[in-house]
Amino acid sequence: MNEMKIRIQPTPNPNAWKFILEQAVLNEGKATFNHPDEALGNILAKDLLEIPSVKQVHFFQNVITITGRLDCEPDDLQKQVISVIQTRMPVNNPNWTPQDAKSKKRENLSPELQKVEEILDRTIRPGLQGDGGDIEIVQLDGKQLYIHYEGACGTCPSATSGTLMAIEGILREEFDPEVEVIPV
């Protein structure tokens, strides 16, 4: 059996790494897992979360972002992750989709949220996804936009400072000058 080539890249989060594969982990969408019970039907995600030092797993296209616990030894964690990826990718189903409320369709969103999603898709998400993370809109309540960081962004120090200010600045310029972005 030929071993799959896996490139490891750091992210701005010192506790998260991108594992870039030669094939798709997910053909469509993204998925974030914090506990093996959340990985229903996805053995790759389940087994990665069973590595004691793994805090979160994020799938996007051909990238797996692993966020480690604060006390993890990066070299050991990366070796364990590579071992799981090598053994589980042959049985991974890239057409698997999460069966939760997060996968709701955008066409069911209000025009305001559709506009915010379009702005984020064009301006913010490419950078976050390039760093092994993403952002999800939780809700828009008046002028307050509640967001949830995913993947490497979830525990990244800049997510509550520079990144948050950039998101808010862009949305104030392109959506509403009074919008307040609140991470949850």
DSSP β-bridge partners for residue 65 = 18, 58
Contacts 24+ apart (CB under 8 A), 26-29: 26/59, 26/60, 26/61, 26/94, 26/96, 27/94, 27/95, 28/95, 28/97, 29/97, 29/98, 29/103
Per-residue confidence (pLDDT) for residue 1, from 0 to 100: 52
Find out whether 33 and 67 touch, Cβ atoms under 8 Å.
no
Structure tokens at 141: 């309540």
Split the chain (184 residues) into runs of 10 and give each run's mean pLDDT: 85 94 91 87 94 94 94 95 96 78 63 93 87 89 94 81 91 96 93
What's the confidence (pLDDT) of residue 137? 92
Return d(Cα 49, Cα 46) in angstroms, integer: 5
Pairing of strands 144-151, 16-20: unpaired
Please choose, from the candidates 152, 166, 165, 159, the residue with its C-alpha nearest in 3D space to the C-alpha of residue 184. 159
Domains in the chain (CATH in brackets) are 7-91 (3.30.1370.70), 101-179 (3.30.300.130)
What is the pLDDT at residue 105? 61
* Matching residue, tokens 């030092």: 53
Residue with tokens 């506990």: 35
Q: How far apart are CA 41 and CA 92, in angstroms?
A: 10
With a CB cutoff of 8 Å and minimum separation 6, the contacts of 88 are: 43, 44, 47, 48
**Does residue 15 contact residue 70 with C-beta atoms inside 8 Å?**
yes
pTM of the model: 0.75
Angle at which helices 162-174 and 111-123 cross, to 10°: 130
Q: What is the pLDDT of residue 3?
A: 78
Query: What is the reported pLDDT for 100?
Result: 43
